[in-house]
Structure 1
């Protein structure tokens, strides 16, 4: 039965719902990196060249980034639970097809469709959390989601190595099937069925196509750069992406319900938080991709030792993400982000200037500093992004949150390739310095949010942040319900009156 949940769902159901989201999103994030470790084996067994086998990874990532915003819009229109369950079913079925694939093109085709399912999960998981948790506990829910995404991202290679140590590469995908079926059952039982959008919003196919072309061409160019493809071809892709992007944005500016929520970017708090997110995830991937090369090629550590030395990062992120979740609403999110990102930058710069032959302890405390800073920043930043949008635009805000993460991570991975091309064996040092610069820039942008008015105050005073009367009404309703934990009690009372 479809309901309107003004302030969260009951506690027993809430636990089941957040468990469903945690399982589902961990599967989707893990599958973005879990096949990397097995790629040489997959190429050998399926009689493919290394260059062609890369598409096992690229097909998944591209299909996600090209459709993320489209699925977010479908969630706003048809209900988040419905889109989430459909995405989970597609992801699970395609995982089975991946496991049964006997040639490379069958595997790549299944990975494309698996990416569509993952995009449906990633696009609206935060919007679902906004329905599941009451406003006073929303920060805790977002912190849990942040924790799951961060740990899944960092643990991908370790999980893959563990599976491959006891089974063939097919089990990297087959293991998703029983877990996905469990998540589907839990979702049917616990996920809330929010009301559909009856304000006249319709899905725009042309917008979806232009979105796919813009992000697909851009990320394909970045991926081609990292694979050292022809510079002429990369320039052509970038030029086509720029042309498609201009048409896409101009088209969105004329839409009452844009697929790319350009109207949300008129909210300063939203746009600043998005910029902070992109820079921080770019810094994260610059470090996480380059550090294994340094640990193994320069210091001579084994694969197992490398995994153990990288582990303090996600562990510290796990701890501080939960602490930050409890501080949301008590400490300004811009301040939390600035402090966390400053610590993150300090950790990255300290890794860049490690001694010539550092001991394990010297590496571990620096990893912990990076993870702690990132964990302190990410939960409040995600909370700000999702709550700075009106409640009926939660899907669009959630989609942009996922897009910022994926775009930052993909850009960071491509920049690692540039650093190694330019600096050779000193590529890790250059990548870490660049990562520290990105983290510093993110800290400065986050600090700009400290004096920004809360979204409710903007909406009530001018209504300029939303493009339609329906959005303004939704913003007022969200304020009255206390949708943003950062808003003070005095402001909430004024909005209700």
Structure 2
């Protein structure tokens, strides 16, 4: 059988420059998005605000990101992917520089919201640009490389923040990512600039999308942080009503802000649901585990060292998984990955009462390898199965699924902690249950009635069961 010829992509060596530019851009928003966590106590002291109030520096960043991801993906399709990406970098960099002038919490919150606007522009179109950079038969490894950059940047952010705080005031923590912005902008000439679509941008749909996510997530955050249950429930209810109207409004549109046209395909709907559950699972475990280890007597340094095998194994497994996803169906890789993760999560839940470092570390490594095997093929299927003109919408969906899952996972842990169940075996058992459902969603994609390749997949060489048996 003759191999299918490679299609698309940026020619070498320009491709390497484009990959470097995209990697620096991803590192920029991930590092600066996570590096603030370690500086919160210092910021609270210097600005004279309470610890509970200063947490809003993180919350406003996350909520703004989720609200704007899909609208900016739709905007990127119309004004240009590269223009949206680099505009986001400029906004992010300028907002970061404004941190040096923050003398009050309200001003810093405005700056963080502006940073999130820039980050949303970058993340909303990043996957679509990666699809333009790599040949179709290398898309999986391209997304995996980007996933490694994101994972390693997230893992390095607390360490970078701690080192900077040891020698400089807290505004310099936010400046840590500026070199990545300069590198990405300087190398940005190599990033392809596909022709934008000449269609009208649905501003009303964008507002409804932002309102839906903002109200629902804001209401959940409000409830978790001890606000009035009635008011919090009312906010969520309004968000659900807005969401119901928004979804009905989007059905039938040729290029909806919420990609209901893509989610109408069962294989993509299952991928989105599975991705959401996987990110919820991972965040639930990663946030709850430090509390559990603290109760076991682990120091802060020991807790960080015990959790570190998760991102390390993820960084190793993700590129291999991405390479395999160009040849093996995502349903099979995802099913195996979640089976590994469920096993590891069960083992974490049943750890001895006084575990050693090694007993924690190898379980975290096993769990990280399972997620590393699951996530890149899942993203490859979501992005690669969409028509090229809808690649930004598919990429925005991937990022929105990720951020929403992480936000729900953090909220779930806060709820379990409030109920007195967040420091024992309950969080990993809940995570194991969610991972099981994610695995079933992945395996369901192997059914011929669901895993029926679209014309786009056939044209671009996405592997099918028949091709890989």
- Using the size of structure 2 for normalisation, the TM-score is 0.94
Choose which of 252, 264, 287 in structure 1 pairs with 2:285.
287
User: Do the aligned residues in 2 keep the contact of 1:269 with 1:388 (CA within 8 Å)?
Assistant: no
Q: Structure 1 pair 490/405, CA: closer, same or farther in 2 (3 Å)?
A: closer
Task: Name the structure 1 match of 2:414.
Answer: 417
Contact 1:388 1:455 in 2 (8 A): no
Question: What's the CA shift for 1:490?
Answer: 7.4
Q: Against the structure 1 CA distance between its residues 9 and 332, is the aligned structure 2 distance closer, same or farther, given a 3 Å change threshold? A: same
Q: Which moved more, 1:442-451 or 1:43-52?
A: 43-52
Aligned partner of residue 37 in structure 1, secondary structure: helix
Aligned to 1:446: 442
| 1:436 counterpart residue number | 432
Distance 1:453 1:6, change over 3 A: farther
Matched, 1:192 2:192: yes
Task: Give the structure 2 partner of residue 333 of structure 1.
Answer: 330
In 2, are the aligned partners of 1:77 and 1:196 still within 8 Å (CA)? Answer: yes
Distance 2:17 2:73 in 1: 22
Cα deviation code 1:213-248 (max 9, x no counterpart): 100011112222332222112101111101111111
CA distance in 2, matches of 1:390, 1:167: 48
Q: Deviations over 1:98-146 (max 9, x none)?
A: 2331211111111111100000111111110100000121111011011
Q: Indicate conservation of the 8 Å contact 1:93/1:177, yes or no.
A: no
Aligned length: 463
Aligned CA-pair RMSD? 1.9
Match of 1:267 in 2: 265
1:205 paired residue number: 203
The equivalent residue for 2:3 is none
1:472 is matched with which residue?
none
Verify the 8 A CA contact 1:267 1:455 in the aligned structure 2: no
CA distance in 2, matches of 1:24, 1:283: 27
Q: Cα–Cα, structure 1 residues 412 and 89, in superposed 2: closer, same or farther, change >3 Å?
A: same
Give the secondary structure class of the aligned counterpart of 1:433: helix
Q: Tell me by how many angstroms 1:253 deviates.
A: 1.2
Distance 1:307 1:162, change over 3 A: farther
Retained in 1: the 8 A contact 2:330–2:381? yes
* 5+ long unaligned stretches in structure 1: 460-474, 492-497
> In 2, distance between residues paired with 1:196 and 1:453?
34
State the Cα deviation string for residues 144-170 of structure 1 (Å, max 9, x = none).
011122233344333322322332211
Question: How many Å separate the matches in 2 of 1:15 and 1:489?
Answer: 33
SS in 2 for 1:287: helix
Distance 1:153 1:435 in 2: 21
Alpha-carbon distance between aligned partners in 1 of 2:274 and 2:453, rounded to the nearest angstrom: 22
Distance in 1 (CA, whole Å) between partners of 2:403 and 2:70 is 12
Secondary structure, counterpart of 1:350 in structure 2: helix
- Does residue 404 (structure 1) correspond to residue 405 (structure 2)? The answer is no
User: 1-side partners of 2:251 and 2:86: how far apart?
Assistant: 31
More divergent stretch after superposition (14-23 vs 283-292): 14-23
Instruction: Give 2:423's match in structure 1, choosing from 420, 427, 444.
Output: 427
What is the 5 A alignment of 1:360-379?
Answer: 360-379=357-376
User: Following TM superposition, by how much is the alpha carbon of 1:182 offset from its aligned partner in structure 2, in angstroms?
Assistant: 2.0
Counterpart of 1:180?
A: 181
What stretches of structure 2 of length at least 5 have no aligned partner?
A: 1-5
Match status 1:301 vs 2:278: no
Match of 2:36 in 1: 35
For 1:141, the equivalent position in structure 2 comes to 142
- After superposition, what is the alpha-carbon deviation per residue over 1:418-453, rounded to whole angstroms, capped at 9, x for unaligned? 1112235x5342111111111111111110011246
Deviation of the 1:479 alpha carbon: 4.1
Please list the CA deviations of residues 259-316 of structure 1 after superposition, one character each: whole Å capped at 9, or x if unmatched: 00101111111101001100000000001101111122x1222222211111111110
Tell me the distance in 2 between the aligned counterparts of 1:404 and 1:241: 17
Which of the numbers 307, 324, 327 marks the counterpart of 1:310?
A: 307
Shift of 1:489: 9.3
Q: Note the C-alpha offset of 1:329.
A: 3.0
Q: Cα distance 1:341–1:488, how it changes in 2: closer, same or farther (>3 A)?
A: closer
Structure 2 residue 229 is matched with structure 1 residue 252: no
Question: Quick check: 2:7–2:137 contact (8 Å CA) kept in 1?
Answer: no
SS at match of 1:257: coil
Q: CA deviation at 1:33?
A: 2.5
SS at match of 1:7: coil
What is the rounded CA distance, in whole Å, between the counterparts of 2:228 and 2:161 in structure 1? 31
Pairs within 5 Å for 1:15-54: 15-54=16-55
Question: Is the CA contact (8 Å cut-off) linking 1:158 and 1:307 kept in structure 2?
Answer: no
CA–CA separation in structure 2 for the residues paired with 1:63 and 1:372: 30
CA distance in 2 between partners of 1:428 and 1:390 (Å):
45
